[in-house]
């Protein structure tokens, strides 16, 4: 990694913006609960034509959640190249995050697994100060590198929440116009990073396609975001090309906000149905052949991250598979809320 990639990007302040409508109040935390210390590891792409906006949605969801104290943000390749993802994460954090929050550059590819970066340095320093939940919204390269280079800090990780996983034989299909399925994107970008995490004992929660596929951000929902806070309006302005891609590719009027369910595991676990299951990595025939679905492959087989009641164990993960219908309202309330007071 170039030296420049190890430079921490210090960000402070909220950029002012005038609201067109009164902002809502964020949901109130328990009167006795201390905010949970978390770290966001993201692969942001909001604003790039026809690319995911859900990382940015999840970041603002976390920033607007009084249940959480976000201690830092790191960036990893995934939805966009690191060079594109880093400034997007920096903008979202500077505009809508708490003052002075650090954003750090991490791995630019899976080939950097095990190579220290500014992201792993910053995360290690934060874990030295206090235990953290790591909300890993992209490939696990940064997280696995931290565990490989600082194994002594593994007990300081309260939990890793990852957006990945499936049941045996489960295929990811959406809508009616493309039945060929799509990839378990974050896992397939760096399967070895997931293997490294599974080799240890850090508690793992999976917020997979199965649960996020039940949540829809529709044009009506986006209208509510447009009428809300500066943060929710920024997201609504970034959404049209992503929405159009879903309509063109899948024949649906809306999209699944994948990463927001990872945040919900620590803000509204009461809205989720989860179970603890054996988890392992298996190899099987590639179930995605359409190049439009995050790239086709000429490999006959590929690895799968699988939860299975009859799995070999001993590794287990909390697997979230259902969500209450009120989740979209909760998400909108957070995105349209005033910033959380320090």
What DSSP letter does each residue of 18-64 carry, written as one string? --SSPPBPPPPPPSSPPPEEEEEEE---TTSTT---HHHHHHHHHHT
Structure confidence at residue 173 (pLDDT): 87
pLDDT of residue 291: 57
Q: In which domain, by residue range, is 188 found?
A: 30-335
Q: Which residues of 303-342 are buried (b: 16+ CB within 10 A; e: fewer)?
A: bbbbbbeebeeebbbbbbbebbeebbebbbbbbbbebbee
Round to whole Å and give the CA distance between 336 and 225.
Answer: 7
Residue 9 lies in a domain: no
pTM higher than 0.85 = yes
Spans of the chain, pLDDT less than 50: 1-26, 29-31
Q: Does any domain span residue 187?
A: yes
In 10 A of CB 183, how many CB atoms? 19
Q: Look up the CATH number of the domain holding residue 323.
A: 3.90.245.10
Residue 173 lies in a domain: yes
Total tally of structural domains belonging to the chain:
1
- pLDDT attached to residue 23: 39
Q: Is residue 11 part of a domain?
A: no
Residue 219 lies in a domain: yes
* Domain membership flag for residue 262: yes
Kindly state whether residue 5 falls inside one of the protein's structural domains.
no
**What b/e readout covers 94-105, taking b as 16+ CB neighbours within 10 angstroms?**
bbbbbeebbbbb
What pLDDT does 235 receive? 98
Instruction: Say if 25 falls within a structural domain.
Output: no
Give me the pLDDT at residue 293, please: 53
């Amino acid at each position: 990694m170039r030296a420049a990639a190890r430079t921490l990007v210090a960000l402070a302040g909220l950029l002012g913006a005038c609201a067109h409508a009164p902002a809502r109040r964020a949901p109130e935390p328990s009167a006795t609960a201390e905010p949970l210390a978390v770290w966001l590891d993201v692969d942001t792409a909001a604003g790039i034509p026809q690319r995911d906006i859900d990382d940015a949605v999840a970041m603002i969801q976390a920033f607007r959640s009084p249940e959480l104290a976000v201690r830092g943000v790191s960036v990893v390749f995934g939805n966009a190249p690191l060079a594109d993802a880093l400034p997007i994460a920096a903008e979202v954090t500077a505009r809508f995050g708490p003052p002075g929050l650090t954003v750090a550059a991490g791995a630019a590819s899976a080939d950097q697994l095990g190579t220290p970066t500014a992201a792993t340095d910053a995360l290690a320093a934060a874990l030295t100060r206090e235990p953290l939940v790591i909300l890993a919204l992209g490939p696990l390269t940064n997280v696995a590198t931290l565990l490989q280079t600082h194994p002594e800090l593994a007990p300081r990780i309260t939990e890793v929440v990852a957006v990945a996983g499936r049941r045996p034989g489960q295929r990811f299909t959406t809508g009616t116009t493309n039945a060929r399925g799509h990839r378990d994107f974050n896992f397939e970008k760096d399967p070895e990073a997931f293997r490294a995490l599974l080799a240890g004992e850090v508690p793992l929660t999976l917020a997979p396609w199965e649960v996020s596929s039940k949540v829809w951000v529709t044009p009506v929902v986006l209208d509510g975001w447009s009428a809300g806070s500066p943060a929710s309006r920024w997201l609504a302005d970034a959404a049209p090309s992503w929405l159009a891609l879903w309509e063109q590719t899948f024949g649906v009027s809306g999209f699944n906000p994948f990463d927001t369910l990872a945040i919900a595991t620590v803000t509204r676990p009461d809205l989720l149905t989860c179970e603890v299951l054996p988890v392992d990595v298996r190899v099987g025939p590639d179930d995605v052949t359409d190049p439009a679905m995050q790239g086709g492959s000429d490999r006959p087989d590929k690895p799968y991250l699988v939860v299975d009641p009859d799995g070999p164990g001993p590794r287990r993960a909390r697997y979230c598979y259902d969500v209450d219908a009120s989740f979209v309202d909760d998400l909108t309330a957070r995105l349209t809320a005033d910033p959380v007071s320090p």
